Amino acid sequence: MSTNRFYVPNGSGRRSSTHGGNDRFGGQFRGHWRDEVKIWWREIDKFLLAMVALLMMIGTAAVAAASPASADQLSTSAVTLDEFLFLKQHLVWQILGVGVMIGASMLTREQARRLGILLAAGMIVALMLVPLIGFEKNGAQRWINLGFSFQPSEFLKPGFAIALAWILTWRLRDQNLPVVPVVSGIMFVVAALLMLQPNLGATVLFAGVWFVLVLLSGVSVQRIAALIGGGIAVLTATYFLYDNARYRIDSFFSGGTAFDQVDLAERTLLAGGWTGSGLWLGIRKMSLPEAHTDYIFSVIGEEFGLLICALIVLLYLAIVLRVLLRLFDEDNLFVLLAGAGLVTQIGGQAFINILVNLQLFPSKGMTLPLVSYGGSSTIAVCLTIGLLLAITRRNPFLQRETPGLLDRLGQKEEKA
C-alpha cells in the first residue's frame, strides 16, 4: 500500500504535516529525510542564514590573524604553543557549531520552545552549582568541568529569552496572572548568581533582554518608568557595593592609561587605518591581551582595516533589522517575543563588544558573536541562531488568515 503525505495550515503560518500509513514495524514514520531538508530549505530565512555564514567566515580569518598573538602571550619558558593552535581549535568548534545551528533550525516552533524552557531550567541549576564545583579562570569562577568544561551562562542566554517569552504569553489566557513579577523574579535570581562569579557583562546583557521582552509584552507606561527607575537604582547600588563594577566604571571614565586593555584595544584598532596592515603583519596585536576573544575586533581593525570593521557592524545591524522586519508581521505573541529576545541577545552582545573596543563602554569580558574564538560561546551562539531560525521559519506558500500583531494593535488604537 502506498503512503501519502500532505500538508495543511496550522494557524500560525507554519506548515504542519499529516502522515498516512505505518511502517513495517507498526509505527508512524515522517517520510524521507530529503523531504524534511526540502521543507526546511523552503521555510528557512535564507538571507539571515547567509549573513550568519559570512560573519563566521570573517571570524575564521580574524582568529587566524589573532592566533599567533595569543599563542605567544600564553606560551611559557617551558611550553611554546603552536602559533595556529587557536585557529585549529576554532575550526573544530565552528564545525560543531554549524551542526548544532542546522539541527536546531530544523525544530518546529513547539520543539524550540520546549528546548528553550528545559535549557533555561537546567542552566539556572548549573549556575547554582558554579560556586560549589566551578573552577576559576582569569580571576572569575564561571566554568564547570564535567569531563569537559563549559560556561553555564553562555547556554542560559537562548533559554532565558525563550522561557521569559513563554511566561509572558500566559497573560493571553488570564489577564490577572502576575507574569511581569514572575519574569522579574527570574531576572533577579539570574543576576544574583552571575554577580557571584563575578560576571557584570552577562548581567547587563540578561537585563537588556528582560527589559525588551517586558516592554514588548504590553506593560503600561507607568510600569516601564518604574522599571527604568529601578534599573538606575540597581546600577547605582552596584557601583558602591560591587568592587569589580566600580573598578571598571572608574577606569572607563578616567580615560585609562597606555597599559589598560581597553586603551590597548583602541590603539590596535586604529593602527591599520582604513585598509589594514595585512594578514599577519600587525604589530600592536602582539601586546593585546585576549586578542582572539574579547578584543578580536581590534585585531580585525589593525590587519584588515576599518572598512572591514564597518562591514561587520553593518552585518550585525542587518541581522537585527532582518529579524525585526520578519517579526513585524507575526500574529503569534510567543514568536514575536522569543524572536525579539534572541536577536536582542545577539545584537546586544555584539555591540557591547564593539563599543568596548572603541573605548565607548567599560570593559565587560564579552566575546564577539560568530567571530571570536570560543568553545562554550561558539556552540551557544550557534544554538541561539539555530533557535532563532526555527522560530522564524515560515511556509512561503501559505498566507495568514488572521491579522498580524501590529495590525491588531493598530486596530485597537483606532477603536480607542
Residues 390-400 have a mean pLDDT of: 74
Those residues whose C-beta lies under 8 Å from the C-beta of residue 256, and which sit 6 or more positions away, are 262, 263, 359
* Residue closest to 360 by CA, chosen among 288, 314, 284, 297: 297
Those residues whose C-beta lies under 8 Å from the C-beta of residue 378, and which sit 6 or more positions away, are 90, 93, 94, 96, 97, 372
Higher pLDDT, 111 or 267: 111
Per-residue confidence at 238, pLDDT binned at 50, 70, 90?
low
- Encode 5-37: b = buried (16+ Cβ within 10 Å), e = exposed: eeeeeeebbbbeeeeeeeeeeeeeeeeeeeeee
Per-residue confidence at 29, pLDDT binned at 50, 70, 90?
very low
Residues 18-27 have a mean pLDDT of: 43
* Range from 11-25, 79-93, 117-131, 331-345 carrying the lowest mean pLDDT: 11-25
Higher pLDDT, 73 or 56: 56
Which pLDDT does position 390 carry in this prediction?
A: 94
* Range from 71-80, 93-102, 159-168, 298-307 carrying the lowest mean pLDDT: 71-80
Which pLDDT does position 257 carry in this prediction?
A: 46
Mean pLDDT of the chain: 81
Per-residue confidence at 394, pLDDT binned at 50, 70, 90?
confident
Whether the per-residue pLDDT at 260 is higher than 60: the answer is yes
Residues 140-160 have a mean pLDDT of: 86
Please state, in angstroms and rounded to a whole number, the distance separating the CA atoms of residues 324 and 362: 28
Please state, in angstroms and rounded to a whole number, the distance separating the CA atoms of residues 209 and 345: 6
* Residue closest to 377 by CA, chosen among 163, 153, 193, 197: 153
Which pLDDT does position 1 carry in this prediction?
A: 42
Residues 9-29 have a mean pLDDT of: 43
Higher pLDDT, 136 or 64: 64
By CB atoms closer than 10 A (0-12, 13-18, 19+), residue 177 is middle
User: Cβ(285)–Cβ(69) under 8 Å?
Assistant: yes
Which pLDDT does position 391 carry in this prediction?
A: 93
C-alpha pair distances (Å), 343 with each of 40, 233, 234, 294, 321: 21, 27, 25, 20, 9
Per-residue confidence at 20, pLDDT binned at 50, 70, 90?
very low
Higher pLDDT, 25 or 31: 31
Which pLDDT does position 186 carry in this prediction?
A: 94
Whether the per-residue pLDDT at 151 is higher than 80: the answer is yes
Which pLDDT does position 9 carry in this prediction?
A: 42
Which pLDDT does position 65 carry in this prediction?
A: 92
Which pLDDT does position 415 carry in this prediction?
A: 44
Whether the per-residue pLDDT at 23 is higher than 60: the answer is no
User: Cβ(371)–Cβ(291) under 8 Å?
Assistant: no
Q: In the structure grid, which three cell numbers stand for residue 206, read together? A: 540578561
Other CB atoms within 10 A of residue 106 CB: 19
**What is the pTM assigned to this prediction?**
0.82
How long is the chain? Answer: 416
How do residues 171-202 score in pLDDT, each as one tens digit?
Answer: 888 888 888 889 999 999 999 899 888 888 88
Domain boundaries, the chain: 36-409
Whether the per-residue pLDDT at 3 is higher than 70: the answer is no
For 13, the 3-state DSSP assignment is coil
How do residues 317-357 score in pLDDT, each as one tens digit?
Answer: 999 999 998 888 777 889 999 999 999 999 999 999 998 88
Which pLDDT does position 251 carry in this prediction?
A: 58
Whether the per-residue pLDDT at 46 is higher than 50: the answer is yes
By CB atoms closer than 10 A (0-12, 13-18, 19+), residue 253 is exposed
Residues 356-375 have a mean pLDDT of: 84
Whether the per-residue pLDDT at 243 is higher than 70: the answer is no
Please state, in angstroms and rounded to a whole number, the distance separating the CA atoms of residues 174 and 387: 27
Which pLDDT does position 122 carry in this prediction?
A: 95
Which pLDDT does position 147 carry in this prediction?
A: 72
